[in-house]
Chain A
Amino acid sequence: MKQVKILGSGCMKCNQLADAVNAIIATENIDASIEKVTDIQKIMAYNVLSLPALVVDEEVRCKGRVPERDELKDLLTR
Chain B
Amino acid sequence: MNKAKEVSPAAALGMIEKGGLLVDVREPDEVAEASFNIPGVMLIPFRTFESHFQEIPDDRNVIIGCNVGERSLMATYFLMNHGYDKAVNLQDGIVGWAERGLPVIGKLKHTKGGCCCGGSKGHGEKSGGSCC
Chain A interface residues toward B at CB < 8 A: 8-15, 40-41, 43-45, 47, 49-52, 64
Which A residues are CB-close (under 8 A) to B62?
A: none
CA distance A47 to B53 in the complex (A): 13
- Determine how close the nearest CB of chain A comes to the CB of B105; give it in whole angstroms: 27
A50 touching B118 in the complex, CB below 8 Å, given contacts A41-B1, A43-B74: yes
B74 touches A50 (CB 8 A): no
Interface size on B, residues (CB 8 A): 26
A41 touches B4 (CB 8 A): yes
**Residue of A at shortest CB range from B48?**
A49
**Residue of A at shortest CB range from B119?**
A11
B129 touches A52 (CB 8 A): no
CA distance A77 to B130 in the complex (A): 30
Which B residues are CB-close (under 8 A) to A10?
A: 116, 126-127, 129
Identify B132's interface contact among A11, A41, A43, A49, CB under 8 A.
Answer: A11
Q: What are 21 A-B contacts defined by CB distance under 8 Å? A: A10-B116, A11-B115, A11-B117, A11-B122, A11-B129, A11-B131, A12-B128, A12-B130, A13-B129, A14-B117, A14-B129, A40-B73, A40-B74, A41-B1, A41-B77, A44-B1, A45-B1, A47-B81, A49-B75, A51-B118, A64-B117
